[in-house]
Amino acid sequence: MRVAALYDIHGNVPALEAVLADVARAGADEIVWGGDVAAGPMPVETLARMRAAGGRCVSGNADRQMVEDFDGDGDSVWARAIDRADRDYLAGFEPTVSLDIEGLGPALFCHGSPRSDLENITRATPDERFAPMVEGVSEQVIVCGHTHQQFDRRLAGRRVINAGAVGMPYEGTAAAFWLLLGPGVELRRTDYDLAPLIERLSPFDREMLQESLIEPVDPDWVTQYFESGVPPSDEP
């Protein structure tokens, strides 16, 4: 089985369409949607394309928040944009997904970490911080997202792969990043035309995407931010 892992789309439909075209060309057998899919400029259109493509869905913190806001009449502009069918689709996402992948064996797909959709695993996370996150997890391959940066590294005896972000990357460049698994590991990048996205951004959406796509910040700064939780003194 070859699996395309698409994480952190954040309502960026032009990026998603470009990636789905690459996924088809790559001949993936399955798509795993890794969470934080709809919270962004085009939530309804994103969910429609996901339904059409099919696949397994992992819940991210933003997906969970959209459902909670929809149910609680919250202030989320994204929750107000969706209907009951969209809400129920999001609510059906799984906390984690486990798949047996050709050449890699069993892999666990999560959003943040196996135990929390809010937990950060970064390019700099040490073994001692990571080890408690996988207690009781049998899979030796862990696929995550949430920090919007690709990597493939060894942590506490596991292979940990971050799929990167399709729609809101922190890679220092404006492109879409995703992951193809089986039989090897391919950290993929898809370039696309940002103009259709930029033209329809509201001020709120523009602020959200400013540091990822419009004026990308230094990726090392982002890693430090997510790892420490506190911005360094030279915050941009």
Q: What is the mean pLDDT of the chain?
A: 94
Q: Is the dihedral of CA 89, 94, 95, 100 positive or negative?
A: negative
Percent above pLDDT 70 for the chain: 97
Q: What pLDDT score does 100 carry? A: 96
Q: Which domains, and CATH codes, for the chain?
A: 3-95+164-228 (3.60.21.10)
- What tens digit of pLDDT does each residue of 15-33 get? 999 999 999 999 999 999 9
Of 172, 144, 166, 181, the C-alpha closest to 60 is: 144
CB burial of residue 197 (10 Å; 0-12, 13-18, 19+): buried
Per the CB < 8 A criterion, the answer to whether 167 and 9 are in contact is yes
- What tens digit of pLDDT does each residue of 178-212 get? 999 999 999 999 999 999 999 989 999 999 999 99
C-alpha distances (whole Å) from 50 to each of 71, 99, 135, 179, 200 are 22, 19, 32, 16, 21
C-alpha distances (whole Å) from 15 to each of 3, 90, 136, 161 are 19, 20, 36, 21
**Residues with Cβ within 8 Å of residue 160, at least 6 apart in sequence:** 121, 130, 142, 144, 151, 152, 153, 154
Q: What pLDDT score does 57 carry? A: 98
Distance CA 141, CA 106 (A): 7
Residue 65 in this model has a pLDDT that exceeds 90: yes
**Residues with Cβ within 8 Å of residue 32, at least 6 apart in sequence:** 3, 4, 5, 6, 55, 56, 57, 58, 97, 99, 109, 143
DSSP SS3 for 67: helix
- What tens digit of pLDDT does each residue of 152-169 get? 999 999 999 999 999 999
pTM flag (> 0.85): yes
Of 223, 220, 205, the C-alpha closest to 77 is: 205
- At position 104, the amino acid (one-letter code) is L
